[in-house]
Structure 1
Amino acid sequence: MTGGQDRAAAIRKLALGAVMRSTRVQELVGSTVTPRLRTGALQRTSALSRVPGRLRPGGLIPNPTCAMGSSQARLDDALGGQTAVVTGRCPEPHLLDACRAQGILPIRVVGDASADAATPTDTGWLTVHLNGPGGGLRALVDDPTLTVVVRPDRVIAAVTTRSEVLRLPWTVGV
């Protein structure tokens, strides 16, 4: 009943050997690049959504070069491998309280150094100045009502507006 398996195995072995001789196939098989994460079944997006495509939940947050104080660094360096809330406005006191309670780093993104000249230095949040286009983070400067929650692995966990309460998409153990 299972006759012919030896011939099929021999054909498979020859075909796989031929395919693996291709340098392109070898690069694809050996690549560690992961595909871009898309919005999942539980995150519905509408065509009328205000959230820019680069800032949708499930995608990686852009990693532009930024100025933090007198130094230049990537946004990854500012995040420091921790959960963060990134926004283009001065965070409200209730947002800062929620961040402190959950151990989340609040980050304000501004377009240029003159944008926060009037804000005091000890604000309770980290201010990051975008250099150049800034990737998708420019959308936060253009629409300061948006707030993005970023997981420690740089994946966007949630996007809210100023009118919505910050809700983490995971439970926090006490």
Structure 2
Amino acid sequence: MTESNTETLYLEDIEERTIQCGEVEVTADEIREFAEQFDPLPIHTDPEAAAESRYDGLIASGYHTLSLSVRLLVDAVRSRRAVVAGLGIDDVRWHAPVRPGDTLVVETTVLETRPSESDPSTGVVHERITAEKSDGTEVLSLENHELVERRDVEPDDAAADSPGEQ
């Protein structure tokens, strides 16, 4: 079974490989709307002020770029996985600004899968997620860890209520 199928994917089904998650075009209106609600700095909300900044124009909040990337990741990959919980994000880096009209291309590389040490009914997926502009400029990178159910393994009574595995 691969992640392109529609069946639920358990830890044992997740392969160490790179998966293309799709692309999305970023608009000026979306940049301003997201920023007005979540990151209201003038470089994200005010085209005139942004034009006077070091960026010489409006740029997307890094959190907007991250949110768009996660949406593509969920649609392409995670919605089919038997995800229990996210465990953490490491090394989030914004490498270049995202501007109105840019198209983001997102991919994830599964670096490792392993059974949980504290709950044999789950396992950990460690992946690297990147977003690039359509011209190949990397704009975002991060490493993610998520807890995923294992196939046909009963939860350990002591660990069944705790998704906090590291």
Which TM class, normalised by the smaller chain length? under 0.3
Bigger strand fraction? 2
TM-score for the superposition, normalised by structure 1: 0.25
Larger radius of gyration: 1
More helix by share: 1
Higher relative contact order (CA 8 A, sep 6+): 2
